[in-house]
Structure 1
Amino acid sequence: MRTYLFDIGNVLLAFDFTPALNSLLGSNSHPTALQQIIERKDLFEAGKIETSEYIQWASELLDFRGSEAEFKHAWRHIFTPIGSTWDLAKELKSQGHRLILYSNTNAIHAPFCLETYPVFEHFDHAVFSYEIGAIKPEDDFYLKSFEQFQIDPAETFYIDDLPENIEAGKKHGLHTHLYAAERHQDLLDWVASH
């Protein structure tokens, strides 16, 4: 049995924040509201900012006058399934491998994704940045997750779409693959060759 670590964003689910945030813009929004919100999301995803605090701050920048529930609804609807990696996850699970979600995410997105997308049923565990208190590519993300889930890097295969995360994974001894949806066959070849 091997362990496979799957990033979520642009590996299992494509995403685009811009339409969601644009839908929340009021007439007196700050000119750089979208840029500021995206820049600060790392702190949110690292669990350093509470959800209600982040929503209030972002709503003020956007001049969004709706409810917290309306903000969350827009914030959640940024994803598009990547069916080819779903198929791979199902196949690996059927072969008896352990699958772990390995994602920088936040307290709004993670529960929504787990409830909404059937592919997540195939995963045994999840390492979410906001729960672990660190984001990729920080060392703490990898080290804390290795300890929590008894991950042996030598027997673990890690799939992510960001080069800096892959480099950190290599540094910590993981077998890594830099994923791009348009080169999905490369991922299949990598899995088959190991």
Structure 2
Amino acid sequence: MPDVVLFDLFGVIARRQSPAAKRTVAATVGVPAPAFWDVYWRLRAPYDLGQITGAEYWRWVATALGTVFDEDRVTALIAADVASWSAIDDDMVALIERTAAAGVRLALLSNIPEDLAAYYERHHGRWLRHFDLVAFSCRIGRAKPDADAYLWCCRELGLAPDRVLFIDDRAENVYAAERLGLHTHLFTGPAETAQVIDATRPQPEPDGRRA
């Protein structure tokens, strides 16, 4: 039985960017969307790892697109980008709260830049407090699917990989964790996730004793 459930954030607890939110970001950039999104993701890793600031990231994006963003545009882009990742799944938050109330240890591992991490700490502390460990890539200098991101969490939790259940919506992240010996679940929705978590908990025997 795993001792800790290690959650991904985006695509599991928080929602991925909606089409409307993506249009807002692209409109703020002011260049054709296909070219922009290619650069957005291609340059993202150092930002997620905390190696550059949001302002530096967006100036890199501007350079790659052959343009220049002034300070006001950079500020607007940081705000639009954060807003595009800010929606959460209320059903998953409720599941986290129920799971924590049942005595299950929880941890969080997310690829996330500092601007967005700070936003979640300011606005979602009510449910973030349920996690014994919050591992934001920008703070720990490691990002999925790098093996050391998972191993860092295991070391901080004081657990061997086979004592951890990892839940993520991206197959490449799940496979990377599985190769290290973590139990894994590819997220498809709250109902299935609840069943998987329940299956990891000891069940009482007929006479009331724990199995």
**TM-score after normalising by structure 1:** 0.86
Kindly indicate whether residue 123 of structure 2 is the aligned counterpart of residue 116 of structure 1: yes
1:128 to 116, 132, 136: 136
2:49 to 46, 51, 59: 46
1:144 to 142, 149, 152: 152
Query: Which letter does structure 2 place at the counterpart of 1:25?
Result: V
Q: CA deviation at 1:85?
A: 1.3
Equivalent residue runs for 1:50-65 within 5 Å: 50-60=53-63, 61=65, 64-65=69-70
Q: Cα 1:126–1:150, aligned 2, differ >3 Å: closer, same or farther? A: same
Q: Cα 1:131–1:173, aligned 2, differ >3 Å: closer, same or farther? A: same
Query: Which letter does structure 2 place at the counterpart of 1:95?
Result: A
Superimposed CA distance per residue, residues 28-71 of structure 1 (whole angstroms, 9 cap, x where no aligned partner) = 67971221012211232123333331122234537544254322
The structure with more radius of gyration = 2
Q: CA deviation at 1:119?
A: 2.3
CA contact (8 A) 1:21 1:34 kept: no
1:186 to 192, 204, 209: 192
**TM-score after normalising by structure 2:** 0.80
Unaligned runs of 5+ in 1: none
Q: Cα 1:30–1:179, aligned 2, differ >3 Å: closer, same or farther? A: closer
Aligned partner of residue 70 in structure 1, secondary structure: helix
Q: Percent same amino acid among aligned pairs?
A: 25
Structure 1 CA distance for aligned equivalents of residues 35 and 80 of structure 2: 19
CA contact (8 A) 2:59 2:69 kept: no
CA RMSD of aligned residues (A): 2.3
Structure 2 CA distance for aligned equivalents of residues 43 and 86 of structure 1: 29
Higher-strand-fraction structure: 1
The residue number in structure 1 matching 2:77 is 71
CA contact (8 A) 2:147 2:177 kept: no
Q: Which moved more, 1:47-56 or 1:163-172?
A: 47-56
1:172 to 174, 180, 204: 180
Structure 2 CA distance for aligned equivalents of residues 23 and 93 of structure 1: 40
The residue number in structure 2 matching 1:92 is 99
CA contact (8 A) 1:24 1:64 kept: no
**Aligned residue pairs, count:** 191
CA contact (8 A) 2:8 2:109 kept: yes
The residue number in structure 1 matching 2:29 is 25
Unaligned runs of 5+ in 2: 201-211
1:105 to 72, 94, 112: 112
Structure 2 CA distance for aligned equivalents of residues 31 and 85 of structure 1: 31
